[in-house]
Amino acid sequence: MVSTRGRSGHTAWDKLFFLWRNDMLKRAGQVGGLLFVLILVASIFVFTGCNRGPNLKGAQVILASWSNAYDVNTYVPRNEGEELELEHRKKVLSDNQMVIRVDELSGWDDYFPIVTSNIMSGNKTYSMYALAADWAMTLYKQGLLYPISDSSVKLNNRVPVAGEKQAYNKMMEDLFTFGGKQYAVSLGLGGDSWQGNFLFWNKRLFREAGLDPDLLYDLQKAGTWTWDKFHDIAKQLTRDTNNDGIIDYYGLPCDDAREVMNAFVYGNNANYVTIDSSGKFQNATNRPEFIEAMQFYLTLIEEGVMKTRPANAAWDWDFTEFFDGRVGMLIAPEWRKGQMPEMADDYGCVLPPKGPRATDYRMSLTEVVWVVPNIFTKEEVDVILRAYDLWNVPMDTDWKQGHYWAFRDRRAVDESVAMTKDSRYVTYRNFALIPGYPHSDIVWDLWSFKGNPAQHIESLAPRINALLDEMNR
């Protein structure tokens, strides 16, 4: 719900105007009574016509989410940073005599149907909604989202300033820009979901295989962390140490097949699904760069450098193999780093290697977005976005402190995690926008597949194309 009455306080513009007005009054005798009045009145119209931002006084902006409710009257900060954030938010509300808060609308399972019902019924209680990107895409396809780029408030800052300016995620801005209009926004520089895929490695096993324990950092920094290098290192790490004919250590496990294949697909500048400028989805699994990624995965299994799933293995056996020091590398989701500190061995972390069709590193991930329903007027949206921007001003931009605890060396954060904050190195997993997309079938069936990987994709093409046709209607 949004109200747009009045204005409180004096801005820098106000002070400038008052100085100008006083100077004009001193000159009044030189101009002449009536003529001066006409000039003054005309000038006031010119000045007040300038963009001073939306009128926030008395506004009520309620943000909806499925978690993390926040009301300045009840929230209890947990650390100094949150204390500063609470003080800032209270000041924003006091200065503008307005209300902003985040409501926990419902749990995850019921959330999206409630959001959809609210918008379709014209319910203006909630000004913005936090959404998984696939939900936001569904609402966009139904024409239920407001094009926030039409607002006079621009949420396109890329450099956060503590206490002053929030930064916004370019990857998600690009993903939700169609026909030159932006329909969703995501806070921060990106890479905050812990859903991307990193490559972790065991430094002890590197040393024992005659490799520099910091080799992957150096390759990544030099721009030479490629499939070829990765392949060579995987072969060196695969060893029978007691000459009994049984491999004791492998380069890496074949699971989590989803993350391994994602690393190779996106690392080779490929996609499962592409989206054109009008928002139409296209099947990209039959393209050469995608087939190459599948073949590379199969080659690693066929050569025996990638350990295959043991019989009756637990779902997370791949992580256990790495945690216990039986494989030298692991491609896994970023959230796994939270379990790494308990390892006995030292470990490092880099982005997946780049394939022959890529010019740079490329990690795939997902992020949450915020949207404005199309039931508001432009003036109301201006107020909503300005309030949202003020509410989310960061009090601390030292994001690295939130990651150092998970690693044994600073290079993991300063070099690798830092790259996830740069839109050049990250891309959204477009297939996650398609309800029912057979991602698991593509990747889980591959490690046991025999033959040309193009045949595997061809067998799934009718199913994939039917889903895309449904999304494109």
149 and 243 both lie in a single domain = no
What pLDDT, on the 0 to 100 scale, is given for residue 32? 45
% of the chain with per-residue pLDDT over 70: 89
Asked whether 100 and 61 are in contact (CB, 8 A), the reply is: yes
CATH of the domain at 130: 3.40.190.10
* Lowest mean pLDDT, pick from 2-6, 47-51, 279-283: 47-51
What pLDDT, on the 0 to 100 scale, is given for residue 310? 85
- Of 352, 375, 397, the one marking the end of a domain is 397
> Which tokens go with 463?
């199913």
Asked whether 453 and 298 are in contact (CB, 8 A), the reply is: yes
Parallel, antiparallel or unpaired: strands 60-65 and 128-132: parallel
Is 263 a member of any domain?
Answer: yes
Q: Is the pLDDT of residue 171 over 60?
A: yes
Count up the domains in the chain and report the number: 2
What pLDDT, on the 0 to 100 scale, is given for residue 37? 38
- Of 397, 418, 441, the one marking the end of a domain is 397
> Which tokens go with 293?
């990624």
Residue 194's pLDDT band (boundaries 50, 70, 90)?
confident
What pLDDT, on the 0 to 100 scale, is given for residue 11? 40
278 and 346 both lie in a single domain = yes
- Of 378, 397, 416, the one marking the end of a domain is 397
Residue 29's pLDDT band (boundaries 50, 70, 90)?
very low
DSSP annotation of 413 reads I
Is 7 a member of any domain?
Answer: no
d(CA 225, CA 425): 14
Is 314 a member of any domain?
Answer: yes
Q: Taking all residues of the chain, what is their mean pLDDT, rounded to a whole number?
A: 89
342 and 450 both lie in a single domain = yes
Give me the mean pLDDT over the 4-8 stretch.
38
184 and 213 both lie in a single domain = no
Residue 1's pLDDT band (boundaries 50, 70, 90)?
low
Residue 18's pLDDT band (boundaries 50, 70, 90)?
very low
> Which tokens go with 45?
């119209």
What pLDDT, on the 0 to 100 scale, is given for residue 452? 87
Is 326 a member of any domain?
Answer: yes
360-363: list long-range contacts, CB under 8 Å, 24+ apart. Answer: 360/223, 360/424, 360/425, 361/220, 361/225, 361/267, 361/419, 361/425, 362/266, 362/267, 362/269, 362/425, 362/426, 362/427, 363/196, 363/197, 363/198, 363/263, 363/266, 363/419, 363/420, 363/425, 363/426, 363/427
Q: Where is 458: in which H helix or E strand? A: helix 453-471
307 and 445 both lie in a single domain = yes
Q: Is the pLDDT of residue 418 over 50?
A: yes
Domain enclosing residue 257, as ranges: 197-365+403-471
The residue with tokens 């995608």 is: 290
Asked whether 274 and 430 are in contact (CB, 8 A), the reply is: yes
264 and 390 both lie in a single domain = no
Is 49 a member of any domain?
Answer: no
Is 343 a member of any domain?
Answer: yes
Q: Is the pLDDT of residue 23 over 80?
A: no
Beta bridge partners of 281: 275
**Most confidently predicted of 3-17, 219-233, 440-454:** 219-233
185 and 201 both lie in a single domain = no
Is 12 a member of any domain?
Answer: no
Q: Where is 433: in which H helix or E strand? A: none
Q: Is the pLDDT of residue 288 over 90?
A: yes
Parallel, antiparallel or unpaired: strands 281-283 and 273-275: antiparallel
Asked whether 256 and 250 are in contact (CB, 8 A), the reply is: no
425 and 453 both lie in a single domain = yes
* Lowest mean pLDDT, pick from 38-42, 70-74, 145-149, 169-173: 38-42
d(CA 93, CA 81): 19
408 and 429 both lie in a single domain = yes
65 and 121 both lie in a single domain = yes
Q: What does each C-alpha distance from 341 to 89, 149, 182, 344, 403 come to in angstroms?
A: 35, 43, 40, 8, 12
d(CA 371, CA 127): 9
Is 10 a member of any domain?
Answer: no
Q: Is the pLDDT of residue 6 over 70?
A: no
Q: Is the peptide bond before 389 cis (omega within 30 degrees of 0)?
A: no
What pLDDT, on the 0 to 100 scale, is given for residue 308? 86
Predicted confidence (pLDDT) per residue in 39-87, tens digit: 333 343 333 334 468 999 999 999 999 999 999 999 999 989 899 999 9
What pLDDT, on the 0 to 100 scale, is given for residue 5? 39
452 and 358 both lie in a single domain = yes
Closest alpha carbon to 63 in 153, 147, 126: 126
111 and 236 both lie in a single domain = no
Please name the residue ranges forming H helices in 338-410: 378-391
16 phi/psi in degrees, rounded to 5: -65, -40
Q: What angle do CA 160, 164, 168 make, to 5 degrees?
A: 35
